[in-house]
Amino acid sequence: MQDLEIGDFWCRYLAIEDFFIPLCESLLIDRYTPVWNKVVDGFGNKTLGINRKVRQAISMWDLLHQGRKGAGTSARKKEPRTRDEVTQRVHDYLSGKPIDLISTAEAIEEAEDEEPV
């Protein structure tokens, strides 16, 4: 990544039974509404398989923070489509302007969030 430093991140851990993970994840996303889950999709995307990398649309996360190995490379079909549009979306959200948030179900979904182009 070109614009992120390791010092920009921190995390906390809680060891729980696997059974409780989806419930806890949903509750935390709903409670704290993190930008990377509710405003910018693609933060948790797994590295794409070699056969899908060319067809997979780039996520909002990868538009905003370019340089992740394994990111999709195809143009996005839906808005936002450019880095400037993603940046504006984040700015609008943080300044209190109403925007369409990503649903919690979409935020925790393990399936791909963009259809191949």
Beta partners for residue 57, in sequence order: 74
Question: Rounded to whole angstroms, how far apart are CA atoms 115 and 22?
Answer: 24
Mean pLDDT, to the nearest integer, of 26-49? 81
**What is the full DSSP assignment across 62-111?**
HHHS---TT---BPPSSS--SHHHHHHHHHHHHTT---PPPPHHHHH--S
38-82 pLDDT tens trace = 898 877 656 656 666 567 788 888 888 887 777 777 888 888 889
The pTM assigned to this predicted structure is 0.68
Identify the pLDDT of residue 3.
Answer: 75
Question: Rounded to whole angstroms, how far apart are CA atoms 29 and 99?
Answer: 17
Integer angstrom CA distances of residue 39 from 1, 16, 42, 52: 20, 27, 10, 25
Identify the pLDDT of residue 106.
Answer: 78
Per the prediction, the chain carries an average pLDDT of 80
> Is residue 115's pLDDT more than 70?
no
